Amino acid sequence: MILDTISIINFKNICDEQLTLTPGINCFVGNNGAGKTNILDAVHYLALARSMQTLSDNQVVRHDEESFIIDGKFNSDGGRIEQVVCGYTRRSGKTLKRNGKEYDKLSDHVGHFPIVVVSPADSALISDSAEERRRYINRLISQIGRQYLAALIRYNTTLQERNKLLKTSPSEEMLLIYDQMLDMAATAIYNRRKEVIAQMRPIVEEYYKLLCGGRETIGLDYRSELDSATLGELLLASRQRDFVNEFTSVGVHRDDIIFTIGDYPLRKYGSQGQQKSFLIALKLAEYQLLAESSGERPILLLDDLFDKLDMGRVAELLRLVGGESFGQIMITDCNKHRLQRTLGEAGAEYQLFHVTNGKVEL
């Protein structure tokens, strides 16, 4: 998928900009706070109808304005021209149109315009709690297929209802009905998470080797209470405890993904450079999965390219993503000369945009 042109109006510090992009590497350079990440975020809105940062729609409307509108023209790898328009007004909310037709559900858009983001914020995947990693894998698998999101919604609503029920001293029969519903949704979620993580593991290992020269081994392991028993069995075993605590203490809402380096936790034993390389390898594996499921090469956003990486590693990364299996790329960096030198070293062709105070110029 190639984004050919984009028009951005009243989005964060961008007032009114029209850009024509190249199908290859697009670089955005400018000082801190200039609006480079904001441009990538506008592209993310077209692909997934939400911010890539943890921002609400209301927060990304330009201060003192009522609405934003982002309009993009894409060329699909299959040769179709697609127009996507994402608009939001403070009063009446968000609308998303594909080729002039408004979606009934925003979630129908998910998966058709694949996008992968590498950004300094990824480090939260390593440093933060399991919830962050569950959110990541949920978003990824939802983009690959529809049933997963449906199972996830079923699981979460049933879980909430069961927790409410536990506060009202319910009958055993009543609880059993909820346990069966939870068990069904949990099995679907568990199987899919296991499958996708197993698919990703060798790809992450491979990319990590390519980026780091293959010295250390790294690991990516799915950890779930359902590894040892079905959720039905686990719920029965923890029933007394759940009654006392008034919430459901077992299930896939407690799953985690364990990242390791040389068999030790990546968070404690990986250097900053190793952690960053791991995250890039993970994102490139995500890229491959999305490319396979959608039949489109995703757009790759590399925000703050040099974050925690030296020039050698960045050049290695650029050589890697400059290959045939990758498509359009958008890069940001605050140091134009460093970026140009490294792109030159990697032998890459690119288009350079200068960003100043929310304005973009060639």
Ligand X SMILES: Nc1ncnc2c1ncn2[C@@H]1O[C@H](COP(=O)(O)OP(=O)(O)O)[C@@H](O)[C@H]1O
- Of 145, 224, 235, the residue nearest 182 (C-alpha): 235
Q: How far is the CB of 29 from Mg ion (least distance, A)?
A: 11
Per-residue contact flags (x/-) with ligand X for residues 110 to 129, judged by CB under 6 A: --------------------
Residue 230, CA distances (Å) to 19, 128, 134, 273, 277 in order: 53, 28, 19, 39, 36
Q: How far is the CB of 34 from Mg ion (least distance, A)?
A: 8
Q: Which stretch binds ligand X (CB under 6 A): 34-42, 90-98, 181-189, 321-329?
A: 34-42
With a CB cutoff of 8 Å and minimum separation 6, the contacts of 347 are 319, 322
Residue 88, CA distances (Å) to 36, 65, 76, 82 in order: 21, 11, 25, 20
Helix or strand run (H / E) with residue 268: helix 266-269
38 lines the binding site for ligand X (CB under 6 A): yes
Q: Which stretch binds ligand X (CB under 6 A): 25-33, 109-117, 158-166, 188-196?
A: 25-33
* Whole-number Å distance between alpha carbons of 220 and 207: 13
Structure tokens at 196: 């996708």
Q: How far is the CB of 53 from ligand X (least distance, A)?
A: 8
* Whole-number Å distance between alpha carbons of 291 and 104: 25
Q: How far is the CB of 112 from Mg ion (least distance, A)?
A: 27
Q: How far is the CB of 303 from Mg ion (least distance, A)?
A: 6
* Whole-number Å distance between alpha carbons of 216 and 271: 12
Plot region of 35 (φ>0 → left; ψ -120 to 50 → alpha; else → beta):
left
Per-residue contact flags (x/-) with ligand X for residues 293 to 332, judged by CB under 6 A: ---------------------------------------x
Q: Which does 156 bind (CB under 5 to 8 A by kind): ligand X, Mg ion, none?
A: none
Q: Which stretch binds ligand X (CB under 6 A): 32-40, 157-165, 264-272, 335-343?
A: 32-40
* Out of 1, 6, 9, 12, the residue judged to bind ligand X by CB under 6 A: 12
Structure tokens at 253: 């809402």
37 lines the binding site for Mg ion (CB under 5 A): yes
* Out of 5, 16, 20, 33, the residue judged to bind ligand X by CB under 6 A: 33
- Pairing mode, if any, of strands 359-361 and 81-89? unpaired
Give backbone dihedrals phi and psi of 236, rounded to 5 degrees, phi first.
Answer: -65, -45
- Of 135, 188, 182, 183, the residue nearest 163 (C-alpha): 182
34 lines the binding site for ligand X (CB under 6 A): yes
Q: Which is nearer to Mg ion, 190 or 306 (CB)?
A: 306
Q: Which does 171 bind (CB under 5 to 8 A by kind): ligand X, Mg ion, none?
A: none
Beta bridge pairs of residue 87 = 69, 95
Q: Which stretch binds Mg ion (CB under 5 A): 33-41, 59-67, 147-155, 268-276?
A: 33-41
Structure tokens at 89: 């007004």
Q: Which stretch binds Mg ion (CB under 5 A): 36-44, 45-53, 92-100, 221-229?
A: 36-44
Q: How far is the CB of 35 from ligand X (least distance, A)?
A: 4
Residues that bind Mg ion (CB under 5 A): 37
Binding interface with ligand X (CB under 6 A): 12-13, 30, 32-38, 59-63, 332
